[in-house]
Amino acid sequence: MEKKTKRRDFLFTATYAVGAVGAGAVIWPMIDQMNPDASVKALASTEVDVSTVTPGKTITVLWRGKPVFIRRRTPEEIAEAKSVKLEELKHPEKDEDRAKDPEWLVMLGVCTHLGCVPLDQKGDYNGWFCPCHGSHYDTSGRIRKGPAPTNMEIPEYKFVNANTIKIG
Amino acid sequence: MSDHEYTPKSKVGKWFNDRLPLLTLANHLTDYPTPKNLNYWWTFGGILTFCLITQIVTGLVLAMHYIAHADMAFQSVEHIMRDVNYGWLIRYIHANGASMFFLAVYIHIFRSLFYGSYKSPREVIWIIGIIIYLLMMAAAFLGYVLPWGQMSFWGATVITNLFSAIPLVGEGIVTWLWGGYSVDNPTLTRFFTLHYLIPFLILGLVVLHIWALHVPGNNNPVGIDIKKPSKDTVPFHPYIVIKDGFALLMFMIVFAFFVFYTPNILGHADNYIEANPLVTPAHIVPEWYLLPFYAILRSVPDKLLGVIAMLSAILILAALPWLDTSKIRSAVFRPLYKQFYWILVADVLILGYVGAMPAEGLYLLIARIATAYYFLHFLVVLPVLGFKERTTPVPLSITEPILGGSPNLAAVKKKDSFKDQ
Amino acid sequence: MKNFFRISFLIALFFGFQFNSNAAEKVEYLKTDWSFKGPFGKFDRAALQRGYQVYQEVCSSCHSMKYLSYRNLVEEGGPEFSVEQAKAIAASFEVKDGPNADGEMFMRPGRLSDKFVMPYENEKAAQAANGGAYPPDMTVLVKARGGGVDYIYSLLQGYEDPPAGVTLDDGVYYNKYIYGNKIKMSNQLSDGLVEYSDGTNASVEQMAKDVTTFLMWTAEPHLETRHKMGFKAIIYLIILTVLVYFSMKRIWSRIETKV
């Protein structure tokens, strides 16, 4: 009798377990279909011609649906960015780590607070200013004042040649 | 609705149940006394519920990626098939799911016809069922238009043109349906909206269908009224749940075979050609599940009468509870009806076959005979049979083979065979 | 249980009926063994790569492939060109892009994310260049023809001199397999037309088979995944069905009625 009960339990448990595995396997495609599809993933990199950008100018390009600021900085801006002491920063990062070539700052133009696009050459630090909730960024795109928690993000990029930057 | 008062054991449960008796409902559903002799033909109700849910879930997913625009619909379907994660799987489930849904609903309907499930006191269940069936056909047709292939476009053109058969206002109605002077973008966007809406109407009607079922309870293969709960019944859970589950899995194996190995066999090749208003495909054929009605439409040489015949073929089913005059429900005890039943099944299959064939020569003749017989069955055979037929003795209960009327021992011995029907 | 066999039988009968009705007026197509047929079917990579070559060198001057992207050539289950090869293929095409900062459209080399470049700007241009006949897009062509791969394979080899009594207009050719026997595409394949890099002999039959295989893939790029997943799904369903069957027997054994 006892043996029979055990076997019955095993049978029902196995049935439930196998059924649950199947249910999980069916639910996954329904969730995964909302992830970026193959055509979206394929657009992951953009090449930008920067030959027309003179020092002191910024261009904004679209990458993965978001703006990327490409700024050719003036010597003053570079000097200003490099002179800042790390302990003054909310999110300490050296300027060298953010701009491989100090003349070019390539940065995701999205405020790290809630995702607005900051305004160029505005704010208390001669860098960027986010109009949504008043975050001030310096000439290296680092957060100096306001609610944003971190510096603006640097995407993966490289110079394909002297005039072309590949983002992504 | 409930046969006995139910009180939840936990305090919270009682508090909630006093305010919204969901637990009473759940208890009613699990304890619902079901005839113990239901055979596998009765599992298709559960299978149909599964089909509806599958269509709604996969449909919602497809709607996230589909673009209802004449210039982009075809392309967006290809996008789903190629780029969207598991898009091909979800679309093939949805497309083949429609066929599976109809396969199950036809079995469900013919089960009802065999065992007389439409008879008193279940007429309302039956009529709600017919409305669901009509809505299913509408949803299937509207959905078939959405990929915007050649069959979509010309199917939409032909079916909407049926309305032009209506005297005086017909042309106006067709233009109104199209939102233009031909099937075009406005037609597509409204078809998409309606295709999205109808499944939820069906869902609501399914709730009513089950509600109406739970008032008198299930019919059963013997077709007699039974006491509930009694020795003749089992609680819905776990007995019927597991049995329905088993049948559903068998059904899913067939379903999976179509989805994974022959996903396009039930569709038409022309629908992989983008809609072109300048060229009509050589053969316009509706999906297989509409073929019998298509055959009826074509067998009548007059436009208006053809449309009327086709509609009547469906609507006549709604009058069935009153056309069938027999007091006995189950065909098991109606030797003559049983034979006519199988003739009707064959008749509908023949109509389906000739519906797929060109409407000419011998095919047309067969279609006409089969159409005539279809109506004859409902309008003449059934009413007359109720009066003329000599039925065999019916037992008084499922478990005890006590026979009403004559002490017919042969029928007692046959008990096992009807349980197996 | 007995009922299940009956139901299954009826279902089989019914669909058998349907297929017959579809197959009523079929011409006998040429037969060949397709590696992708059947529940375990897979594409032959080499055939897909050769097929791409035939498409590229022969078909693509008239037939577009508008739903396919160059990146697809790399994807698993397809021709599986290496990323470098596919990039080189893409870069060999000029793609229209823009507008640039001056508001003008410009040409640039293709990238993996680009769709296959179309031979004509639009359908009208295609018709104008082909005597009024529109060369159909080839991406889903195999699924858009009743006979599927066998039809395409046969059609490519079905050119013949018209039988006596059949007159052909200019720009119309005789083909055994097309509906009505009249086709506006001239015979495209001839022995040795392309030079396969893997050394395969480019006979008409070989090229027809390769390009048809390629077209099957473009129409059904996830065919291999589908077959593999289907096998797993059905095995899973059978296991669960058996488990549920025995559970059902157990549960119903509590009362004397048989299931």
From C75, which residue of chain A is nearest by alpha-carbon distance?
Answer: A38
Question: Is A43 touching C (CB cutoff 8 A)?
Answer: yes
Any C CB within 8 A of B242 CB? yes
- Distinct helix (H) and strand (E) counts, chain B: 18, 2
DSSP states along B177-245? HHTSSSS-HHHHHHHHHHHHHHHHHHHHHHHHHHHHHHTT----TT-----SSSTTEEEIIIIIHHHHH
- Listed by number, the residues of chain B in 68-87 with a beta carbon closer than 8 Å to a beta carbon of chain C are 75, 78-79, 81-82
**Cβ B85–A39 below 8 Å, yes or no?**
no
> The tokens of B246 are what?
């088993």
Under a CB-based contact definition with an 8 Å cutoff, are residues B34 and B43 in contact?
no
Strands A164-167 and A66-72 turn out to be unpaired
Residue (of B205, B257, A142, B76) closest to C226 by Cα position: B257
Residue A162: the pLDDT is 85
For residue C189 the two structure tokens come to 């394949």
Q: How far apart are CA B114 and CA B108, in angstroms?
A: 10
Distance from C-alpha of C31 to C-alpha of C43, rounded to nearest angstrom? 17
User: Is C53 inside any structural domain?
Assistant: yes
- Pick from B262, B281, B264: which is nearest to B273 by CA? B281
Say if residue A112 is exposed, middle or buried (CB neighbours under 10 Å; 0-12, 13-18, 19+): buried
Determine the Cα–Cα distance for residues C42 and C53; give it in Å rounded to an integer: 20
CA A3 to chain centre: 60
Contact criterion met (CB below 8 Å) for B151 and B271: yes
> Interior CA angle at C27 toward C25 and C33, to 5°?
125
Nearest residue in chain C measured CA to CA from B85: C222
Cβ <8 Å between A33 and B87: yes
Model pLDDT, residue C258: 66
- Rounded mean pLDDT for each run of 10 residues along chain B, 421 residues in total: 71 95 94 94 98 98 97 97 97 98 98 96 97 97 97 95 93 96 97 98 98 96 90 93 97 97 94 94 90 95 94 96 95 95 97 92 95 97 94 83 46 45 39
ipTM of the complex: 0.90
- Whether residue C257 is contained in a domain is answered as no
How many contiguous H segments (helices) and E segments (strands) does chain A have? 4, 10
Set of chain C residues whose Cβ sits within 8 Å of the Cβ of B264 = 143
Residue C30 carries which side chain, given as an amino acid letter? L
Q: Are B275 and B153 in contact (CB under 8 A)?
A: yes
Q: HEC states along chain C?
A: CHHHHHHHHHHHHHHHHHHHHHCCCCCCCCCCCCCCCCCCCCCCHHHHHHHHHHHHHCHHHCCCCCCCEHHHHCCCCCCCCCHHHHHHHHHCCEEEECCCCCCCCEEEECCCCCECCCCCCCHHHHHHHCCCCCCCCCCCHHHHCCCHHHHHHHHHCCECCCCCCCCCCCCCEEECCCCCCEECCCCCCCCCCCCCCCCCCCCHHHHHHHHHHHHHHHHCCCHHHHHHHHHHHHHHHHHHHHHHHHHHHHHHCCCCCCC
Backbone phi, then psi, for B117, in 5-degree steps? -70, -10
Q: Which residue has the tokens 């860098």?
A: A127
Establish if C5 touches chain B: CB-CB under 8 angstroms.
Answer: no
Q: What fold, for B291-390?
A: Helix Hairpins (1.10.287)
pLDDT score, position A21: 95
3-state secondary structure at position B131: helix
One digit per residue, pLDDT tens: chain C, 259 residues?
555 555 555 555 555 555 544 444 557 899 999 999 989 999 999 999 999 999 999 999 999 999 999 999 999 999 999 999 999 999 999 999 888 778 899 898 898 999 999 999 888 999 999 988 899 999 999 999 999 999 999 999 999 999 888 888 888 999 999 988 999 999 999 999 999 999 999 999 999 999 999 999 999 999 999 999 999 999 999 999 999 999 999 999 988 766 6
Closest alpha carbon to B6 in B38, B32, B42: B32
The set of residues, in sequence order, having a beta carbon less than 8 Å from that of C109 and lying 6+ positions away, is C90, C91, C92, C93, C94, C95
Q: Which residue of B has its CA nearest to C145?
A: B269
Cα B154 from Cα B159, distance rounded (Å): 8
Residue B31 to residues A105, B46, B237, C115, C189: CA-CA distances in angstroms?
70, 16, 6, 59, 71
* Among candidates A32, A34, A38 on the partner chain, residue whose Cβ is nearest the Cβ of B83: A38
Report the pLDDT value the prediction gives residue B400, as an integer from 0 to 100. Answer: 65
On whether residue C13 sits in a domain, the answer given is no
Which residues of chain A lie closer than 8 angstroms to B87, CB-CB? 33, 37
Q: Residue A45: which pLDDT band, with cuts at 50, 70 and 90?
A: confident
**In a domain? residue C17:** no
Q: Which residues of B touch C246 (CB under 8 A)?
A: none
Cβ pair C112:A42 closer than 8 A: yes
Amino acid of residue B65: H
B147 and C CB contact within 8 Å: no
Closest in C3, C22, C226 to B260, CB measured: C226
How many structural domains compose chain C?
Answer: 1
Q: Which H helix or E strand runs over B61?
A: helix B44-65
Q: Identify whether the C-beta of residue B323 lies closer than 8 Å to the C-beta of residue B375.
A: no
- Using the Cβ of C242 and the Cβ atoms of chain B, whether some distance falls under 8 Å is answered with no
Neighbours of C (≥3 Cβ pairs closer than 8 A)?
A, B
A47 forms beta bridges with A166
Asked whether C214 and B202 are in contact (CB, 8 A), the reply is no
Contacts of B40 in chain C (CB under 8 A): 3-4, 7
B300 in Cβ contact with B309 (< 8 Å): yes
Q: Are B220 and B38 in contact (CB under 8 A)?
A: yes
Rounded to an integer, the average pLDDT of A14-43 is: 92
Q: C175 in the Ramachandran plot: left (φ > 0), alpha (ψ -120 to 50) or beta?
A: beta
> Among candidates B51, B221, A164, A15, which has minimal Cα distance to C236?
A15
- The reply to whether A32 touches chain B by the CB within 8 Å rule is yes
- Binary contact (B86, A32; C-beta < 8 A): yes
> Where does B33-284 sit in CATH, by number?
1.20.810.10
C4 inside domain? no
Joined together, the tokens standing for residue B421 give: 């029907």
Sheet holding A135-137, edge to edge: A119-120, A128-130, A135-137, A143-145
Contacting B residues, span 13-32, partner chain C, CB-CB under 8 Å: none
Chain B neighbours (≥3 Cβ pairs under 8 A) are A, C
Residue C52 belongs to some domain of the structure: yes
**Domain limits of chain B?**
33-284, 291-390
| pTM of the full structure | 0.90
- Look at strands A104-108 and A119-120 and give their pairing: unpaired
- Residue C128 belongs to a domain with what CATH number? 1.10.760.10
Instruction: Answer for the pair C163, C156: CB distance below 8 angstroms, yes or no.
Output: no
Q: Give the separation between CA B292 and CA A166, rounded to whole angstroms.
A: 61
B420 has a chain C CB within 8 A of its CB: yes
Q: Which of B252, B250, B264 is nearest to B91 (CA)?
A: B264
User: Within an 8 Å CB–CB cutoff, is residue A33 touching chain C?
Assistant: no
Does the CB of C197 have a partner CB in chain B at under 8 Å? no
Return all residues near B141 (Cβ < 8 A) that are at least 6 apart. B155, B159, B290
| DSSP label of A17 | H
C109 found inside a domain:
yes
Sequence-separated (6 or more) residues with CB below 8 Å from residue B340: B377, B381, B382, B385
DSSP state of A85: -
C42 touches chain B (CB under 8 A): no
Residue C105 near residue C99 (C-beta atoms within 8 A) = yes
User: Positive or negative, the Cα torsion across B37, B42, B47, B52?
Assistant: negative
Q: What positions of A carry a catalytic annotation?
A: 133
> Which chain B residues are within 8 Å of A33, Cβ to Cβ?
61, 64-65, 84-87, 90
CB contact under 8 A, A22 and C236: yes
At residue B392's C-alpha, the angle toward residues B389 and B396, to 5°, is 125
- Token code pair at residue C109: 């080399």
Alpha carbon distance, N-terminus to C-terminus of chain C: 8
Which residues of chain C does B93 touch, with a Cβ-Cβ cutoff of 8 Å? Answer: none
Q: For residue A63, give the 3-state DSSP assignment.
A: strand
Q: Cβ neighbours of residue C212 under 8 Å, at least 6 residues apart?
A: C51, C142, C149, C152, C153, C156
Structural domain including C50 reads 26-252
Nearest to C258 by CA among C249, B240, B46: C249
Q: Which residues of C are less than 8 Å from A14 in CB distance? A: 243
